[in-house]
Amino acid sequence: MQHMSALESLSIALIGGGNMARGIIGGLIGKGARPASIIVSEPLEASRQALVSAFGVRVTADNAEAVRDAQVVVLAVKPQLMSGVARALAPALRANRPLVISVAAGIRADRLQHWLGAGIPLVRSMPNRPALIGAGASGLYADASLPEASRRLAEQVLASTGLTVWVKNEEQIDAVTALSGSGPAYFFRLAELMAEAGAALGLDADVARQLAAQTLAGAGQLVATEKTTDLARMRAEVTSKGGTTEAALNTFAAQGFDRLVADAMAAAERRSRELAAQFGD
């Protein structure tokens, strides 16, 4: 209960009301944060109304107003907008020096610190979409000079959305982005292709989609329930010698699935680094 009461008393501002922000808001409220203590700055009127309807949070179109009394500020804007948003926020942040958590892909901590001003406590994070239901995975990075209390606070905020892990070097956030940040879409794409293949094998398209979606959900729940990261063992347990699963997995291997996954993640990691170069001034 102590964990929830700490969140309950926290004043949190989110700059940007898109999918990532919604995931964090949903996680926070699910773990006891009060909607009245959360304010979201979002330029689009329709998006503001949707946030009020969905979560009961306070909304504004004024970034400076949003951060005025905040203890934690989450920067949830697109990488290409971050420079302008952070620079404009700097004067408002200097007043109360809240903890700032950036969830923008690719934008480096030193650039953020430069835009926000020296002395603003800063954490970079890469959450993912399942944060919306408290099943997210977030990688966190902070400079060694960040006080322990600020680290704990950042972890508490993001732990409301699921698993949190700290990485030692900032470059590793690019790998987190490629793995868990973009990862849910890989599983959705695989399930989408399985549904299409099921329909091609003669199943009704809707039945194939239902089976693919539930197989994806069930496999994820099974991993979560097992509380193990021994994925190879779990795969082996459903792969009988000479059976149907083995036939499918052998085909994956023969077609270079391993290499394909490695190449896809390398492309995502590379793109994360490119965003830093492109939008980091």
- Virtual CA dihedral for 259, 183, 79, 127, nearest 10 degrees? -140
At which residue do the structure tokens 């599983």 appear?
187
Gap between the Cα atoms of 15 and 62, Å rounded? 9
Query: CB within 8 A of 155, min separation 6: which ones?
Result: 140, 164, 166
Q: Which two tokens stand for residue 69?
A: 């009394």
Q: Please tell me the distance from the alpha carbon of residue 168 to that of residue 178, in angstroms, as a whole number.
A: 17
pLDDT band at 1 (very low <50, low <70, confident <90, very high): very low
pLDDT of residue 20: 87
The conformation of residue 130, written as its DSSP 8-state character, comes to G
Q: Terminal CA-to-CA distance of the chain, rounded, Å? A: 44
Q: What is the pLDDT of residues 16-53, one digit of tens each?
A: 999 889 989 998 998 899 999 999 999 999 999 999 99
- The whole-chain average pLDDT of the chain stands at 93
For the whole model, what pTM was predicted?
0.87
Please work out, in degrees rounded to the nearest 5, the angle formed at the alpha carbon of residue 271 by the alpha carbons of 102 and 27.
35
Tokens in use for 176?
A: 């987190």
By DSSP bridging, strand 38-41 and strand 162-166 are unpaired
DSSP state of 181: I
